[in-house]
């Protein structure tokens, strides 16, 4: 039997906020069990004075689409308006993965002082233009920023999402977590941090080279899906994880990292002339599917994983296993058509 929300939080705390809605007709009896993390989060919000006119409801439509129960905690303070414009929002996609799916948006607030401690497990969204002074960030799992970020610290220890990178580059010097600067149509990477402890994702932009990319990347580096990318010049010197530059306009591998700790993925590089420029040793897999080259020169011979070669063509002619092993017999045990079950 599902427990009522009133069994977890004292009667009267929610006032008249649980009235039936025109869009989501929910009665108080329909409020379902909330597990401990959500309950504690709500309690901290109330203690901090952040909640005044609150309600909790079940987002049935999203639950149906996503295939699991979806709970949403919505609340307002005297500084913001709800529900049409939601500046503060907690969304939990899966109760069992609470810490991975907590989003807190405070885009209309100019202070972070009243946010509860549980924010350290959350994805925090802020608009830096709302803050007049230096922003003192709380501990959080991920930080998503809008506006001019010159009032942020120069060192960010968590994951960082740059939502408006055209006016956000050139300030942050170090990111301890992952850095996301993708799908933004920027034309240059100049101004990105010099070092990133996690992965870097700059795919789907309008850059032609990698000048300005971090020099050291602790995780993966993804600069794929950019037909205008013609050169790897400026790529990181060290990549601890995978290096992905698939589906780009690369013609020559003119500037490769000194070290890549994982896979090298360059599938779909249809303008690549040869594999010259790749290191002889690949620590993971090498993905060259759907590449169309003029020569097989430069293929690495020391590969720890597989060499995926499905639909690899040489001067528009299909390449077979024997075509490769005749030149590189060392690869005979490493060749595989694809990492997918195509």
Confidence of residue 88 (pLDDT cuts 50, 70, 90): very low
Q: What SS3 state is found at 292? A: strand
- What integer best gives the mean pLDDT of the chain? 75
Confidence of residue 226 (pLDDT cuts 50, 70, 90): very high
Question: What is the DSSP code (8-state) at residue 321?
Answer: H
Pairing type for strands 159-162 and 195-196 reads unpaired
Q: Does residue 20 surpass a pLDDT of 90?
A: no
pLDDT at 212: 96
Question: What is the DSSP code (8-state) at residue 283?
Answer: S
Q: Measure CA 47 to chain center.
A: 32
Query: What is the pTM (predicted TM-score) of this model?
Result: 0.74
Q: Does residue 14 surpass a pLDDT of 80?
A: no
The rounded percent of the chain whose pLDDT value lies above 70 is: 65
> What would the pLDDT profile of 21-75 be if each residue is shown by its tens digit?
333 333 332 333 334 444 455 545 444 444 444 443 334 444 444 443 333 443 3
The answer to whether 275 and 253 are in contact (CB under 8 A) is yes
Window from 8-17, 132-141, 173-182 with minimum mean pLDDT: 8-17
Buried/exposed code over 290-303 (b: 16+ C-beta within 10 A; e: otherwise): bbbbeebebbbeeb
Confidence of residue 11 (pLDDT cuts 50, 70, 90): very low
How far apart, in whole angstroms, are the C-alpha atoms of residue 29 and residue 33? 11
Q: Does residue 108 surpass a pLDDT of 60?
A: yes
Alpha helices in the chain, H assignment, sequence order? 36-47, 60-66, 321-325
How far apart, in whole angstroms, are the C-alpha atoms of residue 106 and residue 87? 5
pLDDT at 166: 87
Window from 26-35, 223-232, 283-292, 329-338 with minimum mean pLDDT: 26-35
């Amino acid at each position: 039997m599902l427990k009522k929300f009133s069994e977890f939080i004292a009667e009267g705390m929610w006032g008249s906020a649980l009235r039936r809605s025109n869009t989501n007709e929910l009665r108080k009896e329909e409020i379902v069990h909330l597990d401990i993390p959500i309950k504690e989060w709500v309690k901290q919000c109330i203690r901090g004075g952040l909640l005044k006119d609150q309600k909790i409801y079940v987002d049935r439509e999203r639950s149906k689409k996503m295939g699991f129960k979806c709970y949403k905690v919505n609340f307002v303070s005297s500084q913001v308006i709800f529900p049409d414009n939601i500046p503060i929002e907690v969304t939990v996609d899966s109760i069992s993965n609470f810490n991975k799916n907590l989003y807190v948006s405070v885009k209309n607030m100019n202070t972070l002082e009243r946010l509860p401690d549980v924010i350290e497990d959350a994805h925090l969204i802020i608009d830096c233009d709302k803050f007049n002074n230096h922003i003192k960030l709380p501990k959080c799992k991920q930080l998503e920023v809008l506006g001019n970020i010159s009032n942020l610290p120069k060192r960010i220890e968590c994951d960082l999402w740059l939502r408006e990178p055209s006016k956000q580059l050139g300030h942050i010097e170090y990111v301890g977590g992952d850095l996301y600067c993708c799908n933004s149509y920027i034309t240059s990477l100049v101004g990105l941090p010099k070092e990133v402890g996690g992965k870097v994702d700059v795919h789907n932009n309008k850059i032609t080279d990698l000048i300005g990319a971090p020099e050291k990347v602790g995780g993966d580096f993804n600069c794929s899906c950019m037909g205008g990318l013609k050169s790897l010049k400026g790529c990181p010197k060290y990549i601890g994880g995978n290096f992905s530059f698939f589906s780009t306009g690369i013609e020559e591998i003119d500037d490769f990292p000194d070290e890549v700790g994982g896979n090298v993925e360059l599938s779909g590089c249809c303008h690549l002339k040869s594999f010259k420029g790749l290191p002889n040793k690949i620590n993971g897999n090498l993905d060259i599917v759907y590449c169309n080259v003029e020569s097989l020169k430069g293929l690495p011979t020391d590969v720890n994983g597989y060499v995926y070669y499905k639909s690899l063509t040489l001067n528009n002619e299909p390449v077979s296993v024997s075509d490769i092993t005749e030149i590189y017999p060392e690869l005979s045990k490493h060749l595989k058509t694809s990492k997918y079950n195509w």
